[in-house]
Every structure is written in C-alpha cells, then in structure tokens.
Amino acid sequence: MVNILYQGQGIGSEINESVLVYVKKIGKAKVRLGIDKGNPQSKAFWKKNGFKLIKEVEILGGTILLAEKIL
C-alpha cells in the first residue's frame, strides 16, 4: 500500500514493476495474487498493471479475486 498522500503518482506501479523484473530474473514465469473483492481501488490498480482476473475464491468473511500476470 502506498500512503494516500503519494497515490496517483506512479509509485506503486514502479514498485510493482521492480518486483516483477526480479521475479522474472529468478526464473518465474507468472505471478498470482489475491485482491479483496470489496476493494475496487485495489482491483483497478492491479488490472492497470497487467494482471488478469482468473477466478473468485470464497473465504470466510468475503471473496478474493485471484489475479495472474504472465511474465
């Protein structure tokens, strides 16, 4: 999470891209993550950064959106 004062400046996307470069460098082909379905801002961020929603997973107290990005 990026402090609200710094959101919208590309900082989160830069951090994400740095992590993805590293993950690819160590030989991984894809990244998966879970997004709280009740957080539309988070869903929009990950979609903007190239993650595709692949399924919904019901958990105690809510729903997680499983997202994936092929590197």
Tens-place pLDDT, residues 16-55: 999 999 999 999 999 999 999 999 999 999 999 999 999 9
- In the chain, % helix, strand, coil (3-state, to 5) comes to 40, 35, 30
- Compute the CA torsion angle 51, 29, 25, 48 (nearest 10 deg): -10
**Amino acid 1: pLDDT:** 85
DSSP state of 51: -
Q: Distance (Å, rounded) from C-alpha 36 to C-alpha 14? A: 22
